[in-house]
Structure 1
Amino acid sequence: MIVKAHIAGIFEDGPIFAQGKVELKENVDLKTFFKNADKALGFRARKYFRLALRMDNQPTVLINGDRLDLPEGFKHLLKDGDEITVLSPIAGG
């Protein structure tokens, strides 16, 4: 199945915005998506999807525009055509 992926936010090396498609097996959960998204979008040196999960503040994760709470949301089963958006927290002074 194919899901659409978007990531946006500020990371240690600057702002990032990327989007693309991730091919996954049928009936996989959101956790599996996070394991595969970086490679699918061409992130090799910096794995932004995984980095977003390791930040002090959790990212906002949307599936088809609906927010999921983590870590419970990792069990959410994905469907072909789902659109996943990951927004890293933005802070400033």
Structure 2
Amino acid sequence: MMKMTEQAASFLKKEMAEKKEDTLRFYNLAGCCHPTLTAEFEPAEDGDKIEIVEHIRIAIEQAVVDDLKDVTIGIDDSGEEVELVLDGYVFPDACDCEEHDHQ
């Protein structure tokens, strides 16, 4: 089961309230060499696994359920934008395609 830091929960609850969203969804997006894990505020789709973590509804595409089962969601607010951090997620190795931003 996924976990979440208090800082991430507070940030996500605020963002979801401002955007009037009720679900954070994780899914794979086609990439040049392999699928890329993506997270967005959007409704769950048929077949998604639903988890409630720190009172936040999370939808997880079946293809990434096993990849995220022991992940802790955190945030990094040290840059210009706040980024989600998935502690425990193993990113696939980068490939030699033209798209260098794989993570």
The question of a shared fold, defined as TM-score above 0.5 by the shorter chain, is answered with: no
Q: Which has the larger radius of gyration?
A: 2
TM-score of the superposed pair, with normalisation by structure 1? 0.30
TM-score for both structures, normalised by structure 2: 0.28
